[in-house]
Amino acid sequence: MNRANFRFYAQLNYFLPPSKRKITFVHYFKKSRSIKDAIEALGVPHTEVDLIIANKESVDFCYLLQDGDLIGVYPRWRSIDITPIVKVRPIEMFFPRFILDVHLGKLAKNLRLLGFDTLYRNDYNDEELAEISRREQRILLTRDVGLLMRSAVNYGYYVRNTNPWKQLLEVVQHFDLLGKVNAFQRCLCCNGLISLVDKKLISDRLPEKAKQYYDEFYLCRQCERIYWKGSHHQKMQKFIEQIHR
Three-state SS letters, the chain: CEEEEEEECHHHHHHCCHHHCCCCEEEEECCCCEHHHHHHHCCCCHHHCCEEEECCEECCCCCECCCCCEEEEECCCCCCCCHHHCCCCCCCCCCCCEEECHHHHHHHHHHHHCCCCEEECCCCCHHHHHHHHHHHCCEEEECCHHHHCCCCCCCEEECCCCCHHHHHHHHHHHCCCHHHCCCCCECCCCCCEEEEECHHHHHHHCCHHHHHHCCCEEEECCCCCEEECCHHHHHHHHHHHHHHC
- Tens-digit pLDDT profile for residues 224-233: 999 998 877 7
Distance between alpha carbon 211 and the CA centroid of its chain, in Å? 39
Contact, 60 vs 52, CB < 8 A? yes
Q: Which domain holds residue 165?
A: 98-180
Q: How confident is the model at residue 206 (pLDDT cuts 50, 70, 90)?
A: very high
Summarised one tens digit per residue, pLDDT across range 80-132 is: 555 656 667 665 666 899 999 999 999 999 999 999 999 999 999 999 999 99
212: in domain: yes
Residues 109 and 172 reside in one and the same domain: yes
Query: Is the same domain home to 23 and 77?
Result: yes
Q: What is the mean pLDDT of residues 68-91?
A: 74
Among residues 155, 180, 205, which one ends one of the domains? 180
For position 153, what pLDDT does the model report?
Answer: 95
The reply to whether 43 and 76 lie within a common domain is yes
On whether residue 63 sits in a domain, the answer given is: yes
Confidence of residue 179 (pLDDT cuts 50, 70, 90): confident
pLDDT digits (tens, 9 = 90+) for 17-29: 999 999 999 999 9
Residue 90 included in any domain: no
pLDDT at 243 over 80: no
Give the end of a domain, one of 125, 146, 180.
180
Residue 102's CATH number = 3.40.50
For the domain that residue 48 is a member of, what is the CATH number?
Answer: 3.10.20.30
Domain assignment of residue 138, yes or no: yes
pLDDT at 131: 97
Domain count within the chain: 3
Is the confidence at residue 79, as pLDDT, over 60?
no
pLDDT of residue 63: 96
Please give the pLDDT value at position 136: 95
Domain-terminating residue out of 61, 85, 109: 85
Output 195 or 88, whichever has higher pLDDT.
195
